Structure 1
Amino acid sequence: MSDILKQEIKQLIIDSLDLEDITADDIIDDEPLFIEGLGLDSIDALELGLAIKKRYEVKIEANSEQTKQSFSSVNALAEFIQQNKAQ
């Protein structure tokens, strides 16, 4: 997985969710994004999903189990984007 892609995802999380007190270095690649870990919620998931869809042109199924797993961490998001990115 590309470290550049992971950094982009971290910055996208910060920018799209207006996380002012956090830097990309504060987000750990395999740390959970929701509840524990970064502490995001369902509204954050919607906003982040829209930002990822727009930036990387990937299709995201709203209520699928695969999507839930793909949004579990930066590593999982990077893998999802690499697999589904428009060519």
Structure 2
Amino acid sequence: MKQALIERLSLQLTPDEIADDSPLFGTGLGLDSVDALEIAILIELEFDVPVSDDELASFRSINTLVDLVEQRTQAAEVAA
């Protein structure tokens, strides 16, 4: 997830420089609302997980992004 974010958002960081629980927005990585949309696109394209507008607010850290992907992937497996 970290590497995908770095590539998608052209961040000048390495995965080791991003803490799993560091805030993505504000004082953390300093991302903004446009970046949130890019993250949603990334999740949809890379992980085949649809993201609703309401879920954009849950993009708080790497951990919350991974949790979202894992929950959606597990739910899709159970439904299949």
* Superposition TM-score tier, normalisation by shorter sequence: 0.7 to 0.9
Unmatched segments (≥5 aa) in structure 2:
none
- Cα distance in 2 for residues equivalent to 1:67 and 1:14: 18
| CA shift in 2, pair 1:42/1:67, >3 Å | closer
Count of aligned pairs = 75
From the two aligned structures, give the one with the greater helix fraction.
2
Secondary structure (helix, strand or coil) at the match of 1:37 reads coil
TM-score normalised by L of structure 1: 0.79
Q: Which one scores higher on RCO, CA 8 angstroms, separation ≥ 6?
A: 1
* Structure 1 match to 2:5: 13
Identity of counterpart residues, as a percentage? 41
Secondary structure (helix, strand or coil) at the match of 1:59 reads coil
Unmatched segments (≥5 aa) in structure 1:
1-8
Runs of 4+ in structure 1 over 3 Å off: none
